[in-house]
Amino acid sequence: MNRVTIYHNPRCSTSRTVLGLLRERGAEPEVVDYLQHPLDRAELARLVARMGVPVRDVVRAKEPLFRELGLDDAATSDDALLDAMAAHPILMNRPIVVTARGARLCRPPESVLELLE
């Protein structure tokens, strides 16, 4: 199987489910605990570009810090969102899986299967 990377939070049930689905399908992914090993701004920008989604789609809006930092303002720029995620990794939504087929936020968990087919 090709290289698989999961940006993972072990305390997140969705992230644990996706990791389990990957392993059930024979993948042994590189597991990046992004809270312990945060992505820098450039890495985040590359990941979002690979996903092909707006930066705002990768930000965890349910996190209290999101509002505390004023990121809930629709006028907040992509640059400001990337800076915030780099400074506060908890703001990155998860799990994000990267394979040769692409990169995506795997919510719902079963969406990871599209990256393995």
Residue 12 designated active-site? yes
Q: What CA–CA distance (Å, rounded) separates 56 from 10? A: 23
Q: Which of 4, 6, 12, 18 does the annotation list as catalytic?
A: 12
Number of helical (H) and strand (E) elements in the chain, helices listed first: 4, 4
Catalytic residues: 12
